[in-house]
Amino acid sequence: MRKGLLKANWLKFYALLYLGFLYLPIIFLPIFSINSSPRPSFPLTGYTTAWYRELIGNQAMLSAAKNSLLVGLGAAIISTAFGICAARALTRYKFRGQKPIAGLIMAPLVLPEIIVAISMLLVILQLGLQLSLLTILLGHVLICLPYSMTVLMSGFEGFDRSLEEASADLGESAFGTFRRVTLPMVMPAIIASMLVSFTISLDEFILAFFLSGTETTLPIYIWGQLRFAARLPAVLALGTILLVASFILLTLAEIFRRRASRTIGNTSGGLIA
């Protein structure tokens, strides 16, 4: 027993070290975003909010932010809507071709993003379509789908159909049953899926880079700024804001996902797991 405990302690130490390795690089962004020296290096020179103030009046950044919000909202709604159909079909019904169909929808998860990006680019250019925010949106929906579907499936799995039947037996119409029984039970999963998709779209770079026209999103804006060393502190400030936003959204998503699992009494499954 003692020996097992000792081993657990070593593993715990390693786990903490590993978490440090995961978080260390990310922690430097906020630190240097409030450091007065424009160069990100130690020792720190003093506290400043100058880099954040620089962002406020920056028109290019603001319009990129607006575009990112638009694309993110669109991707969240559309991929969740598609995800609901797919997740419901896969958890509720059994049909031929279930596995290959699910495989195709999940494929973007294991394909290099550049392959997905250039494939879509080729088709769009061949069809003579203009690259725009819409084309970025189309791409983002595609890569959000695997995550939406996974989150929704963990919410739908173990869904007790007898509740719906009971509601119908007690005289509710099909729509009433959906609104008063089904929807409240799956709502947390739907919200979690929307939050996750929104965050992915907000942070996504490679597809946006290939599929964008004249209008940019925030990651593309950041990419453009990285060439100029003088702009780095402002980029760090912007990065920090994005980091905090992602963190808040994901924490919310996790809370909703857990609530979804609890309502249905299913305790398994993480965001990807």
Q: Is 66 in the site for another protein (CB under 8 A)?
A: no
> Is residue 183 a contact residue for another protein (CB under 8 A)?
no
Interface pick for another protein out of 53, 129, 226, 262 (rule CB under 8 A): 226
Chosen residue from 70, 134, 223, 259 binding another protein by CB under 8 A: 223
Comparison of 22 and 170: residue with beta carbon closer to another protein: 22
Using CB under 8 A as the binding rule, whether residue 7 contacts another protein is answered as yes
Cα separation of 111 and 139, whole Å?
13
Interacting residue with another protein among 76, 116, 137, 189 (CB under 8 A)? 116
User: In the set 1, 2, 41, 56, which binds another protein (CB under 8 A)?
Assistant: 41
Q: What is the DSSP string of 23-77?
A: HHHHHHHHHHHTBSSSS--SSP--B--HHHHHHHT-HHHHHHHHHHHHHHHHHHH
Closest CA to 240 of 21, 32, 19: 32
DSSP assignments along 172-233, one per residue? --HHHHIIIIIHHHHHHHHHHHHHHHHHHHHH--HHHHHH--SS--HHHHHHHHTT-GGGHH
90 or 190: whose CB is closer to another protein?
Answer: 90
Instruction: Assess 174 for contact with another protein (CB under 8 A).
Output: no
Site string for another protein, 19-38 (x = CB under 8 A): x-xxxxxx-xx--x------
Site string for another protein, 138-167 (x = CB under 8 A): xx-xx--x---x------------------
Number of chain positions touching another protein (CB under 8 A): 90
Quick check: 192 binds another protein (CB under 8 A)? no
Cα–Cα distance for residue pair 124/131, rounded to 1 Å: 8
DSSP, residue by residue, 100-154 = HHHHHHHGGGTS-HHHHHHHHHHHHHHTTPPPSHHHHHHHHHHHHHHHHHHHHHH
Distance of closest approach, residue 49 Cβ to another protein, in angstroms:
19
* Closer residue to another protein in complex, CB, 181/232: 232
